[in-house]
Amino acid sequence: MSMKKVYVVIILTIVLILIICGIEFFTNSRHEEEQNNTTTSNENAVVNEATENYATNSNVNQIDEDSRNINNVTMKIKEGTLTKTSATIVIEDKNEEKYGYGQWFRIDRKENGDWKELEQINENFAFTDIAYIPKEDGTIEIDENWKDLYGELQAGEYRLVKEVYGNGTNYIYAEFTIE
């Protein structure tokens, strides 16, 4: 066999191997994507105007509605902890099956009767993707510091909005005033 034919056979073999690897990669990627789609929530949010809670649909761990309801959760600012840059929040979850609570939060400011999300001063700020679980009594305290995210808050009415994990994504909030 001539060298030219050997090179053609080698090149065709390499191309064939690349095609097989590509098909295998594509098949595995599709399989992983299908598995991930069954464990992530739908991003289309629905507003419950009566409670101002935001909810999305999810296929994850469907819990009986009698054992878990977002209306059985309250959040408030712990007395004596509010400053212009931080506060400790207390979440009380009275559900039989407790929710999980993320590190993520945002601050809204009341302007002309409407809540407007504050503009972030740090575009590179990131939250750790963890979940806090309430103690047996259903309570949890979390220290929130927004200095690096929003800076020092000016006088006004605000609310801290917190993400709730379980049966989709919900949000709870605690209102407060900076004087």
Q: Which domain CATH number covers 150? A: 2.60.40
Mean pLDDT of the 21-39 span: 48
Q: What domain count does the chain have? A: 2
Same domain, 21 and 68: no
DSSP letters of 123-135?
TT------EE---
Between CA 110 and CA 75 the distance in angstroms is: 18
pTM tops 0.75: no
* Bridge partner list, 53: 48
Q: Is the pLDDT of residue 128 over 80?
A: yes
Same domain, 93 and 146: yes
Q: Is the pLDDT of residue 125 over 80?
A: yes
Q: Percentage of residues in the chain with pLDDT exceeding 70?
A: 69
Q: Is the pLDDT of residue 124 over 60?
A: yes
Domain carrying residue 116: 46-178
Same domain, 115 and 69: yes
Same domain, 54 and 82: yes
Same domain, 88 and 144: yes
Tens-digit pLDDT profile for residues 78-101:
999 999 999 999 999 999 999 999
What local confidence, expressed as pLDDT, does residue 179 receive? 94
Same domain, 149 and 68: yes
Same domain, 15 and 78: no
What local confidence, expressed as pLDDT, does residue 109 receive? 98
Same domain, 112 and 163: yes
